[in-house]
Amino acid sequence: MVTEATQASGEVPGPADAAALMDVILGLVRVQVLHGIAALQVADHLADGARTAEEVAERAGSQPRATYRLMRAAASLGVLSYEGNRRFGLTARGHLLRAGVPGSLRSFVLVQAGPAQWPAMGMLPDAVRQGTSQAKAALGVDIFDYLAQPEHAEEAGQFSEAMAGLSSLQIAGAVAAADMTGVSTVVDVGGADGQFVLELLTANPGMRGQVLDLPHAVEAARQEADKRGLSARFSAVAGDFFEKVPTADLYLLKTVLHDWDDERALTILRNCRAAAPDGGRTLVVEAVVGEIGEPDFAVLSDMGMLCVTGGIERDLAEYDAMFAASGWRRGKTYPVGAGYSGLELHAV
């Protein structure tokens, strides 16, 4: 028997619950609508003003009626604006799907909804059953080996652009918020092309910096430092952060720990602590899991990590346990943008 009490407690679903759940289920369609806008470069075709769907289709090489339907769907997501007479324009969100603009998320959409990650995400139940990434089952190899194959060079480029786009948002917030008092040397651990440490060097003229990464990655960091005119205060070192890291006043670990299980993440933190001088610090930038049941970017990202890379997003308690076990104490914590937080660690 349905009573007012059971209805109030949420035990008996009603039409509103079905509608809300259907809205969530259609999230897969939303992602693919954005995928279509990004892949057909619709936002770029509208960058200089509103156009009809037929005009966009001619530029994109797509079927006109299907293009209109795609753009109509994108307008329902707030990506495009409808100007009447089959004409569409760009909203602020839509500009983020253009190529080459600051903070662009176009490559991120192409990666998330593309052939490298989408199949593995479809195997989430198996990832939960096994507790492991499904990339190898979906692709034949793990995700990074897949992207390293010559035939997937375009996808690898999109992946790099996607990470750079997210990084630009994270880095700007972290550089603005981080306490650099007493810091003269910085090592960007696993820093790829060095964007983070180079932004810090730009903001702090007396500082010297270094990137530690695998041999194939460090040349890009040297080139980026040359381009910015920072080579005199910068070096790039080929190495393995699971073995050892150079001595520095400050270590940067931006979206590094979430790539690894607890044991290997602890190894990275312990190696930083072993090399740090008295008073040494680390700045961790990660998506931190919040309160259970609240809307949370980090818990959704965690599902992607589980299915695709085998990594994990953690909550503050989990991070604090790792910090304590590796000789660090968390101090100031603050948002840096794009759903990420900065965690300042002090050597103990």
258 among known catalytic residues: yes
Long-range contacts of 102-106 (CB under 8 A, 24+ apart): 102/168, 103/165, 103/168, 103/169, 104/161, 104/165, 105/162, 105/165, 106/38, 106/43, 106/161, 106/165
| Rounded CA separation 326/274 (Å) | 9
| Rounded CA separation 83/86 (Å) | 7
Q: Hey, what are 188's tokens? A: 């960007």
Catalytic member of 35, 45, 258, 346: 258
User: What residue spans of 10-142 are helical by DSSP H?
Assistant: 15-25, 27-39, 42-45, 53-60, 64-76, 92-95, 106-112, 118-121, 124-130, 135-139
| Rounded CA separation 107/113 (Å) | 10
Residues forming the active site: 258
